[in-house]
Structure 1
């Protein structure tokens, strides 16, 4: 039985020459258990692509055997119909290009009924793009089966038109994907240029001619100084979470974590609360002009900093975030910026202690960080020059991201319009005889 067309708005405008059938009448669920004594090619579905997976590098729990996995063959379509409630962004459809096996948690479909297995793939991909799968479960169901999917009505063009549509989409998706990839390469280049210009401007690279005697910054401009951070102010640790207070009077206050301190800015979209004693609020309270620096985190993120401007009051910080309180508050914007340079990152990465998953840097090493200090007037000029440059590059990057969004939308629209007959592709048929037959 097919669902009523009133529940299938994607079929409202299909060409009159096309027919309609339920999915169950056009696909056969593969359900072929792996019976090979040898382990065939192991496949995984990632970002809509079926790729080989190394059995020896299995993520998570490795199965004792692959006998419960299902066999797949070239042309088959795989659907991942799991976790529908929580994940509405993944591409859930892929097409098999080589024989292999995949977890039986996925649905494998034989496309032999179709005139073009490639068209069958694009049709199911269109249903995924239109979020059809998400409306098939009820209540708290996290997944659906082929039986749930089988009643969904779909559009069936002639075999010749199927092949024409599939050929058109193969060409168009490759073309659009190439444009998207070019924009991503541009974004990567802009990010590299941003980091390069940030270091060049803040270290005065073009003017560096004086030997500094420091391994991290061997040459500096004339009239600039390298000063250890410990001589510029106090490096303060924060409150430890989970501390026992006994009967002490407590108060709940906002506190900053490692995740709040990003590279050059503070992410305050999610600020946690913590219960501490009254005297600790005063002890750990942040003041405008404090420079926050991460004590721990990923290897390349240790030491990254940003200036606190009193966005939340009162607010304290956890012990994995250092707060640098400078004797001269006018240096704070410069210090926050200089932590983003290449020499600063190299310093923190080389002095960090690496554990299995995380790295950390000691308060002592933070105190020894060599801060490059130009004259005060020069600091202001350089920070303005840097902000202007970063704003220009940010505008270019934002434009590229918007173009990627538009191209991604164009790709989706092209697929759905083609497989639903909104684009007439009969002129793509190979012969006049085929055109007349359609």
Structure 2
């Protein structure tokens, strides 16, 4: 490969990258182009998280095995002592903004290749040579481009990247970093535009309701018995909350009727003609709860033989009731927060986001403030849910309702035996 050919390839690649607008496709094209340029058996892109503490693999191609989505493969930038993990070659490249070019990792001294070998084991691969080029945008390193098993085009021998190709690869990595940065920025801008559009639409709908003075009559369901001051206060709050789209947090002890109240909120709202979907967050383990709430795509895990929508999809334009939300795992709380903020749902195993219109009603019988102090519940999610809190009183605080409840249940029992 002469200098002219390399130059022409770089120009073609730069033009191709500048025209790509989808981040997943862009990542795949960068990986494929890097493999062609270097004659490597495999390539991967890792990007830094927002705290710059870990590199996450977001795209790779090893002998035709590809994966465009963020996987469990990640590399820590810092060690247990919170010092830079410079023995890890990827962390070294990110921290020093310099390329790593090793002919054989089995004989290279000074580096720890345990992450490489662990990733190889997961996909049945064996890395010999290793090249890492930092992805730098301006003065900020955003990730790395990693090449494995570079082969000499003349002899086919695996070794380090030749010197005459290292500089072109670094140039390509710089162009790729700009393209990745700009594409992410474009996607973020489009997301914000969608969010602003939804918020403007909500404001227009709310203004229309206020200007037309639409007063929706709230009718107490037959199953809700009682007229004591505590329960009447709860009914009054529900009547006020029903006409809006804000999230509602029902708080109360077990057995106080929080799900019935949630159904009351839904039936009293403008979404009453749409689905009311309920899920107890304490009833399923984390993995099952995630796929139940957000759905999954075919092949996401063993037994996923077809695409399946989640409860969030089923509740589109209706109400999603999340019971016992205080018992939801932290990792899923982040996805619920995303649903609340953006209306965004990402199915298990998918790289694409779906957008739904759901009203969230959550319930808990635990003290969420204490869980926040213990690091078991996200503070930002609490503030998003606690926009309109309603306390459902226990029966001991409404003793005047006991005779009515007795009569109510006696009437049901009598009806069941034909009296």
- Do both proteins adopt the same fold according to a TM-score greater than 0.5, normalized to the shorter chain? no
Normalising by structure 2, report the TM-score: 0.31
Q: Which has the higher contact order (CA 8 A, sep 6+)?
A: 1
Q: Which has the higher helix share?
A: 2
Normalising by structure 1, report the TM-score: 0.30
